[in-house]
């Protein structure tokens, strides 16, 4: 598992309330599941203020190189600068867990706003900044991550688990779907999941059958209506979990694998891009008006690069690179 993970602040506070020492933050690994239990306020481990220090390294996304002499603004504290090796150290006083917002900037990088958890000392925190140079394009990122082609800029929304798939083998009339469509869906699933999630996830289970039930959480349902749906394909939501993909049988025989992969891309958090993408890539699977000269049902390198950025950020990341206020960095050992 990567040494960088995001968790909602409420979940961390709930966890802290059930243990005797704040040091659990640097020793344990929890999951990303949400809880319906109301969080309680943790009790300090000792009376009076206790100094804490959170240290780590700033790195470049995607190459992982350290970022030297970056400026870090610390809400409620003094500004900090990373050293020549990209290392930083932020200190405070007190034992109560506290979210500490940061603003991190360096020449040649997109400024990032995120948070760490103060109240206990730990090391090894790794925070990355997006390098503002090709293949990164802010305009392209705003398309594929923020949905700029379809309206106002939106926060990111993505999956946090391996998706399962259910391919419905009958249409809305109960008639068996031609095997060509079912086989086409099966053929694209593995590649599009890897492409769209930056290699983070893979298909968990792929099944087919005649059930017409709505998909359960963690599942993407694919079905092929015989009647027109007003488009070649439609996904029930961008980053939606569960998600339903509909592909009309009457419109897409020549490009059905691309249509299916395109709609699965939406389910996994990708928005539309311009048809041509970025030079020298003269096509794109997530093209809003078509696929250009794209030869097969795979994301282009430019699309994969920006999709991986989406999956390096938490849900709700907003423009330019601002993590939600209830998310923070901690460490998994």
Q: What is the dihedral of CA 206, 208, 212, 214, to 10 degrees?
A: 0
Sheet holding 122-130, edge to edge: 87-93, 51-61, 122-130
217 and 122 part of one domain:
no
Concatenate the DSSP letters of all residues of 237-255 into one string.
-TT-SSEEEEE-TTT-TTT
129 and 168 part of one domain:
no
Domain count, the chain: 2
Q: How many CB atoms lie within 10 A of CB 53?
A: 13
Taking residues 129-140, report their average pLDDT. Answer: 94
> Do the domain assignments include residue 22?
yes
Residue 9, pLDDT score: 41
85 and 176 part of one domain:
no
Q: Which of the four pLDDT bands, split at 50, 70 and 90, describes residue 333?
A: very low
Comparing CA positions, the residue from 98, 48, 46, 58 lying closest to residue 76 is 98
Task: In whole angstroms, give the CA distance from residue 218 to residue 221.
Answer: 10
183 and 83 part of one domain:
no
297 and 165 part of one domain:
yes
Backbone torsions φ then ψ of 160, nearest 5 degrees:
-130, 25
170 and 300 part of one domain:
yes
> Do the domain assignments include residue 232?
yes
Task: In whole angstroms, give the CA distance from residue 230 to residue 280.
Answer: 32
Q: How many CB atoms lie within 10 A of CB 203?
A: 17
CATH number at residue 221: 3.40.390.10
Give the containing element (helix H, strand E) for 208: strand 206-209
CATH number at residue 30: 2.60.40.1120
302 and 326 part of one domain:
no
Cα-based distances in Å from 307 to 95, 144, 270, 304, 313? 38, 7, 7, 5, 10
188 and 126 part of one domain:
no
> Do the domain assignments include residue 315?
no
> Do the domain assignments include residue 151?
no
**Helical H segments across the chain, by residue range:** 9-17, 138-144, 179-196, 256-267, 301-310
> Do the domain assignments include residue 146?
no
182 and 290 part of one domain:
yes
Residues 6+ apart with CB under 8 A from 227: 172, 248
Lowest-pLDDT range, 7-21, 40-54, 89-103, 156-170?
Answer: 7-21
> Do the domain assignments include residue 144?
no
> Do the domain assignments include residue 203?
yes
Find the distance separating the first CA and the last CA of the chain, reported in whole Å.
9
Q: List, for residues 293-308, the tens digit of each pLDDT value.
A: 888 999 999 999 999 9
In the three-class reduction of DSSP (H, G, I as helix; E, B as strand; rest coil), residue 305 is classed as: helix
Q: Quote the tokens at residue 151.
A: 């309206």
Omega prior to 280 cis, within 30 of 0: yes
Cα-based distances in Å from 5 to 2, 29, 247, 295, 316? 7, 10, 35, 36, 15
* pLDDT more than 70, % of the chain: 81
Q: Which of the four pLDDT bands, split at 50, 70 and 90, describes residue 319?
A: very high
Q: List, for residues 61-91, the tens digit of each pLDDT value.
A: 999 999 999 999 999 888 999 999 999 999 9
279 and 326 part of one domain:
no
> Do the domain assignments include residue 72?
yes
Task: In whole angstroms, give the CA distance from residue 144 to residue 147.
Answer: 6
Question: 11 is in which domain, residue-wise?
Answer: 5-133+320-330
**Exposure string (b/e) for 141-165, b if CB count within 10 Å is 16 or more?**
bbbbbbbbbeeeebbbbbbbeebbb
Q: Are 193 and 158 in contact (CB under 8 A)?
A: no
Lowest-pLDDT range, 49-58, 99-108, 207-216, 222-231?
Answer: 49-58
204 and 265 part of one domain:
yes
In the three-class reduction of DSSP (H, G, I as helix; E, B as strand; rest coil), residue 7 is classed as: strand
169 and 121 part of one domain:
no
Task: In whole angstroms, give the CA distance from residue 153 to residue 143.
Answer: 8
């Amino acid at each position: 598992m990567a040494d960088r993970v995001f968790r909602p602040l409420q979940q961390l506070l709930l966890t802290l309330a059930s243990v005797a020492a704040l040091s659990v933050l640097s020793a344990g690994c929890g999951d990303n599941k949400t809880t319906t239990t109301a969080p309680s306020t943790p009790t300090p481990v000792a009376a009076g203020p206790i100094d804490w220090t959170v240290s780590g390294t700033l790195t470049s996304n995607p190459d992982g190189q350290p970022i030297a002499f970056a400026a870090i603004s610390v809400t409620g504290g003094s500004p900090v600068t990373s050293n020549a090796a990209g290392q930083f150290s932020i200190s405070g006083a007190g034992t109560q867990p506290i979210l500490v917002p940061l603003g991190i900037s360096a020449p040649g990088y997109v400024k990032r706003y995120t948070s760490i958890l103060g109240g206990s000392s730990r090391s090894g925190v790794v925070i990355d900044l997006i390098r503002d140079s090709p293949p990164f394009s802010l305009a392209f990122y705003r398309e594929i991550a923020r949905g700029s082609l379809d309206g106002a800029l939106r926060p990111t929304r993505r999956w946090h688990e391996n998706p399962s798939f259910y391919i419905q083998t009958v249409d809305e009339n109960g008639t068996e779907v031609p095997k060509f469509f079912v086989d086409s869906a099966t053929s694209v699933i593995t590649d599009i999941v890897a492409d769209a999630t930056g290699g983070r996830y893979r298909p968990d289970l792929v099944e087919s059958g005649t059930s017409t039930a709505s998909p359960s959480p963690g599942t993407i349902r694919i079905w092929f209506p015989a009647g027109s749906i007003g488009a070649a394909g439609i996904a029930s939501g961008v980053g939606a979990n569960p998600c339903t993909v509909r592909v009309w049988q009457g419109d897409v025989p020549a490009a059905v694998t691309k249509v299916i992969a395109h709609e699965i891309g939406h389910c996994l958090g990708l928005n539309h891009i311009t048809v041509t993408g970025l030079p020298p890539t003269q096509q794109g699977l997530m093209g809003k008006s078509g696929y250009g000269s794209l030869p097969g049902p795979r994301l282009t390198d430019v699309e994969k690069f920006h999709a991986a950025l989406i999956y390096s950020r938490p849900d709700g990341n907003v423009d330019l690179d601002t993590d939600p206020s209830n998310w923070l960095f901690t460490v998994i050992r």
